[in-house]
Amino acid sequence: LHCGQIQGFFHSAPVDNLSALRDMAPFIVREIVPSYKEDPICIVSPDAGGVARAKMFLDCLVSNMKVANIGLAITVKHRSGPGEIEGMNIVGDVDGKHCIIVDDMIDTAGTLCAAASELLKMGARSVSACATHGLFNGPAYERIEKSVLTHVVVSDTTPLRAGAPSKIRVVSCAELIAEAIYCINHGQSVSGLFKVSSESPVPGRDVIKKE
């Protein structure tokens, strides 16, 4: 869901907002974080509304995957119109750190690329991004290819168009959705689907594979 509060609009049945972070966080720790070596990391929220999401991602890395030397920052945008950024400020210390921008979706990537450039101006060593939904509309591919972004990690909730830049990495959430369907149909708790670890073990996964 774009906004977790939407769960409250479903009155006839309980609704749980599944998070792709369960599979994306281990991927980033396994594939990207090792290249940072001992350098500090900063998780960046692209706006004030995404702070809770960025904080949850940070907590996953620190508590569940034991990633050390990591902080949090926020970008504050000043818009001149839809999709147009007039100015941007950074709240938090990003100097000398590898930044990972955490968002729910990427549309035309204009804001994302502008934020990445601003973070580098503020002294960041590198900037990568992760988002649940990679829409990549309009000039998104071209913008990402020309941007300072090192990696852009998205889930497969939206199929990529042809010609995606090599910077874009896709993490499948098929098992997450399959496990949710299995648990619901077998009367099992879905609480395990919200736990994140380096391997993301979830009750029922072996059962699903066997069947």
- Distance in angstroms (rounded) separating the CA atoms of residues 78 and 98: 24
What strands lie across the sheet with 126-134, from one edge to the other? 84-91, 70-81, 41-45, 98-106, 126-134, 152-155, 168-171
3-state SS, one letter per residue, for 178-210: HHHHHHHHCCCCCHHHHCCCCCCCCCCHHHHHH
In 3D, which of 140, 157, 127 has the Cα closest to residue 23? 157
Question: Of 77, 97, 167, 195, which one is the catalytic site residue?
Answer: 77
Per DSSP, the three-state class of 89 is: strand
- Distance in angstroms (rounded) separating the CA atoms of residues 84 and 4: 26
Residues forming beta bridges with residue 5, ordered by sequence position: none
Has 195 been annotated as catalytic?
no
- Distance in angstroms (rounded) separating the CA atoms of residues 72 and 99: 9
| Residue written as token pair 């990402």 | 144
| Residue written as token pair 């926020």 | 74
Task: Enter the DSSP assignment of 19.
Answer: -
- Any idea which residues carry the catalytic annotation? 77
